[in-house]
Structure 1
Amino acid sequence: MIRYLLDGRSLQDESSVRGIGTYLRGLLIGYASLGVSNDVGLLLERGPAPHAGLVAAGFATYPARLRPLNRHVRPVLDPLQIRRALAGRPPALYHAVEYGQPLRPSIPVVVTVHDLIPFVMPGEYPWMRRERALPMRQFRSADAVVAVSQSTADDLQRIAGVDPARISVIAEGVSPHRPRSDDETASLRARLRLPGRFVLAVGTFDPRKRIELLADVVRGLRRHHGVRLVIAGSQGNFAAAVASIVARAGLSEHVRLLGHVTDDELGGLYQMSECLLFTSAYEGFGLPPLEAMAAGAPVAVFDNSSLREVVADAALVVEDGNAALMVAEVSALLANPAERERRVAAGRERAAQFTWEKTAAATLRVYQRVLRQR
């Protein structure tokens, strides 16, 4: 019998290679390590079969399946269709790992909130703000809300009006990347056609990721060091804009746009890079800096939202939006091998504090508290 039912749809679509998919996979890894796989199940939509590894690990799938919906209407229709799906054989508790809370549920509901981007930056994401207006109101009715950072918890109180007594701050985890031999590194470099020395950027450069600011930093770094830029991540609808900004900055010959890479390839990129440059204006958590530190790359971020909370003193944390200062600090790092190694060691130590088992154990305590209160 499924005791804790999680929304598993992020493992069936394009979200599987983004932050929400990483979060759900990590949570399941944590539950497996805690030995509670048999209590946990996944609510899926009709269509792709669940990954065989999930079944092998003991995770059941809920008998009812949800209707596949366009992403623009899903936040509006989810409350009704999830309520109907849970009416047959309800679990003890339902966990919405992004949005997707059922309407007027008969069982306790826990919801994870990763960020409130459309409401923090409404001018950049007006369509998402409209789509998610209903889920935003529903946050206040959840039995418990998991925020992945204190920054997100503060946003939930300030913007969504969620009672702080209902909020639990539970950080995400990070999976360690395997070390590579020299031959493996050379093979990956040749296959991805990587430049010799490069700084790395990771993600889809929608407006909040600030590709213009990244271009300014890279152009400044190239005045002092012969580094190029590698960008890993599918750019989707933003591909043309990213290419245009790179060209206007005069960097087309010095930027390698890789598109989507596998987790294993990303681990190699982190390990080979001179530094991860993270120019985002807002992050609910900020997993790439943590992944980079775990893999042994120094990291530079701008000081906003949750980023200092995640990287602490292990990374270069620069005044938000100050490209010249980031150039100066990263240049000094690249010119000082001993300081770079110190940052690498500090980053590994910081990242080791974030494990999926810790995330899963803390989330399980939220489930148990909610069930006791009912």
Structure 2
Amino acid sequence: MKIGMELQPIFKDKTGIGWYTYNIIKEVIKLDKDNEFIGYGFNFAGRNNILPNIKDLNIEYDICKVIPYGLYSRLWDYIPIKYNNFFRNKADIYHFFNFIVPPNIGGIVIVTVYDVVYKRFPETMTKANFNRLEKNLQRSVDRADIIITISENSKKEIIEYLNVAEDKIRIIPIGIEIEKYRKKYSENEMIKVRKKYNIPNEYILYLGTLEPRKNIETIIDSYALYKKNGGNLKLVIAGKKGWMYDSILNRVKQYSLGDEVIFTGYVDEDDKACIYKMSSLFLFPSFYEGFGIPVIEAMAAGTPVITSNTSSLPEAAGDAAIFVNPKDINAIADSMLKIANNDYYKKELIIKGLKQSEKFSWEKSAEKLINIYNEFDKNIGMK
């Protein structure tokens, strides 16, 4: 079979959905020698900035250069042209990796839907992103023959909020590059990363986008209580600025923690594992996650984790983390002190975390995806 894979999510950068798309495509192509793969995307006027993100995927690609994706997505309800007619090479199956499926595809459709946070917590999203999903997601899942999601929790919510039949959904957990997080760093390598991001030798870490859903303000509140109760580690908040960022800075000023809280800004992918590994504990009390990949990354790096008892996070973390109510400042502060002051308990969490992280690799994720593709026979129908 010829399988078309949407490359649009990796044209801008390889973070978030782009990173997932890149890694799972790369691993599928490496493992699957029976099917044929082709990548599709829209790149008006053939801008060359997309090429570095796809050239090492080892995939044949067919890029439409006659219309930008943004314009196509606004007009596709009115354009009487099948999606596959924008490209020279046709596929039997089309897999869309970023929630949205255009109308009139011209083949079997698979879509990956990571979560339905826009339904659960609409206040945590920008208006533009909410409107995009509100307008398109229901229609997209209706158009799809199979929906892939990343956790049991997301599956339940897709059924509940989008009225999807259970037998239409498949689960593929997100993977990580385990060997990357297992790496042992030299002292010189760690010094270089500390200097680059202006971080101390020991610290409490949050790593992720700074946006309301990630509950950063509660992290600041809990950290202030941790300090008041005798904690002495600094707090490193690592990640790019999202929306409503100013309220986070105001919280730091409110507690006069300017010298204790360090904002690194965006962290290069090559530095993430080292930053996890050097931290004393990882704090991730997010309100909602479709999966919670930072929790697994931290565990793989040998860092104890405090995370929320909500959404898919217990599913991802297993028995290898401290779980807290994401609104409970006292519980979060107490958990930080417990890890900092109890070496035996800390070591126990680290051992459990290393074991838990081994359940999630891109190879395992890719094998599951290949099995889903192979649910269709060569005559393009369900077996």
Which segment is superposed worse, 207-216 or 238-247?
A: 238-247
The match for 1:166 is 168
1:190 Cα shift? 2.1
- Aligned partner (choices 5, 11, 20) of residue 23 of structure 1: 20
Q: Work out whether residues 101 and 140 of structure 2, in 8 Å CA contact, stay in contact via their aligned partners in 1.
A: yes
- Aligned partner (choices 280, 284, 292) of residue 274 of structure 1: 280
Which segment is superposed worse, 117-126 or 277-286?
A: 117-126
- Listed one character per residue, the Cα deviations across residues 288-319 of structure 1 (whole Å, up to 9, x for unaligned) are 11111111111100110000000011111113
Change in Cα spacing, 1:275 to 1:78, as seen in structure 2 (3 Å) is: farther
1:344 Cα shift? 1.1
Which residue type is aligned with residue 167 of structure 1?
A: I
Q: Work out whether residues 20 and 174 of structure 2, in 8 Å CA contact, stay in contact via their aligned partners in 1.
A: yes
1:249 Cα shift? 2.9
Change in Cα spacing, 1:254 to 1:77, as seen in structure 2 (3 Å) is: farther
The match for 1:122 is 122
The match for 1:103 is 103
Change in Cα spacing, 1:360 to 1:245, as seen in structure 2 (3 Å) is: same
- TM normalised by structure 2 equals 0.89
Inter-partner Cα distance in structure 2 for 1:308 and 1:302: 7
The match for 2:187 is 182
Change in Cα spacing, 1:53 to 1:239, as seen in structure 2 (3 Å) is: closer
Aligned residues: 369
- Aligned partner (choices 211, 215, 219) of residue 216 of structure 2: 211
1:202 Cα shift? 1.3
The match for 1:362 is 368
1:123 Cα shift? 3.4
Inter-partner Cα distance in structure 2 for 1:303 and 1:74: 40
Which residue type is aligned with residue 156 of structure 1?
A: I
Inter-partner Cα distance in structure 1 for 2:53 and 2:35: 14
Secondary structure of residue in 1 paired with 2:335: helix
Inter-partner Cα distance in structure 2 for 1:154 and 1:66: 40
Inter-partner Cα distance in structure 2 for 1:289 and 1:256: 20
Change in Cα spacing, 1:255 to 1:35, as seen in structure 2 (3 Å) is: same
- Aligned partner (choices 222, 227, 236) of residue 233 of structure 2: 227
Which segment is superposed worse, 306-315 or 59-68?
A: 59-68
Sequence identity, in percent? Answer: 23
Which residue type is aligned with residue 84 of structure 2?
A: L
The match for 1:350 is 356
Which segment is superposed worse, 208-217 or 156-165?
A: 208-217
The match for 1:255 is 261
Inter-partner Cα distance in structure 2 for 1:144 and 1:358: 19
Change in Cα spacing, 1:312 to 1:240, as seen in structure 2 (3 Å) is: same
Inter-partner Cα distance in structure 2 for 1:189 and 1:312: 31
Q: CA RMSD in A?
A: 2.4
The match for 1:241 is 247
1:152 Cα shift? 0.6
Change in Cα spacing, 1:82 to 1:241, as seen in structure 2 (3 Å) is: farther
Inter-partner Cα distance in structure 1 for 2:168 and 2:67: 30
Inter-partner Cα distance in structure 2 for 1:24 and 1:67: 22
- Listed one character per residue, the Cα deviations across residues 57-98 of structure 1 (whole Å, up to 9, x for unaligned) are 52111143474355xx77655677796441243211111101
- Aligned partner (choices 204, 223, 233) of residue 199 of structure 1: 204
- TM normalised by structure 1 equals 0.91
1:270 Cα shift? 0.2
Inter-partner Cα distance in structure 2 for 1:201 and 1:316: 15
Q: Work out whether residues 199 and 274 of structure 1, in 8 Å CA contact, stay in contact via their aligned partners in 2.
A: yes
Structure 2 residue 287 is matched with structure 1 residue 289: no
Inter-partner Cα distance in structure 2 for 1:224 and 1:3: 61
5 Å-filtered alignment, 1:85-100, equals 85-87=83-85, 88=87, 89-100=89-100
